[in-house]
Amino acid sequence: MDPILETQEKQPPQPSYVKLAMRNMVRKKGTSLKHFFFDHSDAFGFFGGYILFDALIISNVYTLGI
């Protein structure tokens, strides 16, 4: 039998990336959720600020002809 095949059969399969990510989320408990909410609140704040800036400043520049 081929020695390469024998060594591949003896090694246990490596866990998938999804399983490792889920294990880390369970182990860290609230840290992942906290980071998730902080990241999304930052994104909403950025886009909301841009929309507000656009509505108040940029639109007035075009309508007033400044």
Phi first, then psi: what are they for 15, rounded to 5°? -65, 150
What is the reported pTM?
0.43
Contacts of 10 (CB under 8 A, 6+ apart): none
- DSSP, collapsed to helix, strand or coil, labels residue 19 as helix
Note the pLDDT tens digit of each residue in 32-62: 778 888 888 988 999 999 999 888 887 776 6
**5-26: per-residue pLDDT in tens?**
566 566 677 778 888 888 887 8
